[in-house]
Structure 1
Amino acid sequence: MRVKNFSLGFGLQLFKAFSEESRIRILHLLYQETEMCITDLEQVLDFTQTKTSRHLSYLRNAGLVYSRQVDQFVYYRIRHQSKDMVEQIFQYMSKDKTLLEDHETYKILYSNRELAVNKLHQKKWHRLD
């Protein structure tokens, strides 16, 4: 379900959410990657756990993101109802240097994680030989 119209209160929350650089950067990463763990957001943005949690709580209370917990990890994603509006806003910011750097940092960290997992997996199989 997409939002076709919304109340003044929701509009106010939306614009307040986009009034803070940290929240824009978090939303942009979630928009680009669909879903992210809070620890990944902390690493990519170089934020403390407290700062990241505070901004994610604000975004959740504003109705822009939701979370799910898997074991000890909490994953966040943009709510389906907000996705169209968020997408339109980020189309205007598609060439922003900071947002592009954040996404590039995530891709590098993610690829390094994949390499580390593959090395561990290979090491495990070599020990079994």
Structure 2
Amino acid sequence: MRVKNFSLNFGLGVFKAFSDEARVRILHLLHKEEEMCITDLEHILDFTQTKTSRHLRYLKNAGLVNSRKVDQFVYYRIKNQAQDIIGQIFQYMQKDATLLKDLETFRILYSNRELAVWKLHHQKKLYSS
């Protein structure tokens, strides 16, 4: 959804969100990966659960992200009405070393998780045969 204009309060929320490195890093991961679990964000960013939750709550209260709960996991994503402005801002930061490192950490964690699932699946097949 392309945003043509927005309210002063929404604009202030966007700019305040981008005034904190932790929130910028969280938004960047959500922007690139579309949806992420809070525990993945904690591991990638090396934040405590409290710090991650505090920043996500701030982003949610600012109207930038929403969440959904699946079992014991909470997944966050950028709201449709905020995607355009956030995406435009990140175009100017696409070569930032910290943000690129966060993405690489996510990809490593994700590939390790996929490998672990594959191994577990194949071990079950071996033992059930």
Cα-to-partner distance string for 1:41-86 (whole Å, 9 max, x where unaligned): 0000000000000000000000110000000000000000000000
**Alignment length (residue pairs):** 129
Cα-to-partner distance string for 1:13-35 (whole Å, 9 max, x where unaligned): 11001000000000000001000
Local SS of the residue matching 1:121: helix
Write the distance in 1 (CA, Å) between the matches of 2:83 and 2:92: 15
Corresponding residue of 2:20? 20
Corresponding residue of 1:82? 82
Corresponding residue of 1:51? 51
Measured after TM superposition, the shift of residue 3 of structure 1 is: 2.6
Aligned pair 1:68/2:68, yes or no?
yes
Cα-to-partner distance string for 1:74-111 (whole Å, 9 max, x where unaligned): 00000000000000000000000000000000000000
Gaps of 5+ in 2: none
Write the distance in 1 (CA, Å) between the matches of 2:85 and 2:17: 12
* TM-score normalised over the length of structure 2: 0.98
What amino acid does structure 2 have at the position aligned with 1:50?
T
Moved over 3 A (4+): none
RMSD: 0.7
Provide the identity percentage: 72
Write the distance in 1 (CA, Å) between the matches of 2:43 and 2:52: 10
Gaps of 5+ in 1: none
What amino acid does structure 2 have at the position aligned with 1:57?
R
Local SS of the residue matching 1:5: coil
What amino acid does structure 2 have at the position aligned with 1:41?
L
Write the distance in 2 (CA, Å) between the matches of 1:58 and 1:3: 21
What amino acid does structure 2 have at the position aligned with 1:22?
A
Local SS of the residue matching 1:113: helix
What amino acid does structure 2 have at the position aligned with 1:14?
V
Write the distance in 2 (CA, Å) between the matches of 1:4 and 1:66: 21
* TM-score normalised over the length of structure 1: 0.98
